[in-house]
Structure formats: C-alpha cells, structure tokens
Amino acid sequence: GAGVSQSPSNKVTEKGKDVELRCDPISGHTALYWYRQSLGQGLEFLIYFQGNSAPDKSGLPSDRFSAERTGGSVSTLTIQRTQQEDSAVYLCASGPAGTGAIGEQYFGPGTRLTVT
C-alpha cells in the first residue's frame, strides 16, 4: 500500500519568508508526527497528533513553528519568518493505534528545506 508522502521534496526559500510543508499519512493511522533532521542537532521531535486529542507541541523550537492536521489525515507544518537555522530535513511519520504498535512509526521521505 501507499506509504507516507511529503511535499515538496525540496524547498529553497529566502530568509524571512513563510513556508508550508505537507504530509499525507498512511490511511487509517491515527498518530502523526513531525521531526526534523539536521547535521548539528540530529533527529528532533517537533509535534505529535493522536486522534482527536490536543497535539503534543512540546518539541516546537519557537512560536514561528505551527502545525495542523485536518480531518484526522493530512497535516501541514508551517514555519513563519524562516531563519537560516531552520534549514533541515523535515520528516513526517504516521503510526497505528494500540500499545502493541508502540514505537512503530512509518516515515516519509522528508522535505529538505534550505533557507538562504
């Protein structure tokens, strides 16, 4: 079946511009996660959605970052007034419900963001 898809695959933007990154999770997965991967910081958790519960935003690095998940499916990560330190690969993952599936997260290919 179809895996997690992300768009765009690459995004180059000027400092100060806003960007939107999209994630289409695996159909039926109730959990959706955003991480970012950068040389200096490794893999960092950003935000987590689980069903209709309030999202866990504890990993968002600043108030310039926000995310939403519409209809329990597609998610958009928005970065406002981008800075050069935002340059990274942004990864989306989805996962099935249930404690038997704990930690089973299916990752998309990522969006490589470059802020110039």
Partner 1 sequence: GNSVTQMEGPVTLSEEAFLTINCTYTATGYPSLFWYVQYPGEGLQLLLKATKADDKGSNKGFEATYRKETTSFHLEKGSVQVSDSAVYFCALIVSYNQGGKLIFGQGTELSVKP
For partner 1, the binding residues (CB under 8 A) are 3-4, 31, 33, 35, 42-43, 45, 48, 50, 56, 58-59, 91, 93, 95, 99, 102-110
Nearer to partner 1, 33 or 65 (CB): 33
Taking the complex as a whole, how short is the minimal distance between the CB of residue 16 and partner 1, in angstroms?
A: 30
Taking the complex as a whole, how short is the minimal distance between the CB of residue 43 and partner 1, in angstroms?
A: 4
Taking the complex as a whole, how short is the minimal distance between the CB of residue 1 and partner 1, in angstroms?
A: 15
Burial class (CB in 10 A: 0-12, 13-18, 19+), 21: buried
Nearer to partner 1, 18 or 104 (CB): 104
Rounded alpha-carbon distances, angstroms, from residue 116 to 21, 45, 56, 72:
17, 24, 30, 33
Contacts of residue 79, defined as CB under 8 A and 6 or more positions apart, other chains included, come to 18, 19, 21, 64, 65, 86, 113
